[in-house]
Amino acid sequence: MPNVVLETEAFSRLFETLEKIEKDWIKKIIEQLKKSADVGKPLRFEWFREKKFGRKRLYYLVYKKSSTILLVAFGSKKKQQKIIEHILQNKEKYKKLVERN
C-alpha cells in the first residue's frame, strides 16, 4: 500500500514561493516517499527525517501506522536548528493534523 503524503498549510505556502528547480526536486521526493517512508536521514527519531537539496533541507514526519508522511518545512542549513526545535515542540499538533486526514 503506498504512503499518503500530506503537507502543512505553512509548507504549502512556502512551496509556492520556491524556485522551479526546488519545486521539481520536492515533487520527485514526494513520489519516492509514496513508495517508501525510509527516504532521507533520520533526525534523532525514526519518525522525523530530512532530505538534503544543496544547502537546503526538506523536513518531514513519518507516521508508519497510518502510512502517512507529513511535509513540514524546507529551509537552509543555517535555519536547521530553529526548524528542528519548532517541529519537535509542535509534534502533537502535527499528529492531530494527520489523524484528521
- Is residue 94 within 8 Å of 72, Cβ to Cβ? yes
CA 23 – CA 38 distance, rounded (Å)? 21
Quote the number of domains for the chain.
Answer: 1
CA 78 – CA 86 distance, rounded (Å)? 14
pLDDT at 6: 97
The CATH code of the domain that includes 89 is: 3.30.2310.20
Q: What are the distances in angstroms from CA 3 to CA 6, 19, 68, 73?
A: 10, 26, 5, 19
User: What is the rounded radius of gyration, in angstroms, for the C-alpha atoms of the chain?
Assistant: 13
User: What does each of the 101 residues of the chain score in pLDDT, given as a tens digit?
Assistant: 799 999 999 999 999 999 999 999 999 999 999 999 999 999 999 999 999 999 999 999 999 999 999 999 999 989 999 999 999 999 999 999 999 98
- Residue 62's domain comprises 4-100
State which amino acid sits at residue 62. V
**Which pTM was predicted?**
0.94
Contacts of 93 (CB under 8 A, 6+ apart): none
pLDDT at 15: 98
pLDDT at 101: 85
Q: Residue 63: helix, strand or coil by DSSP?
A: strand
Length of the chain: 101
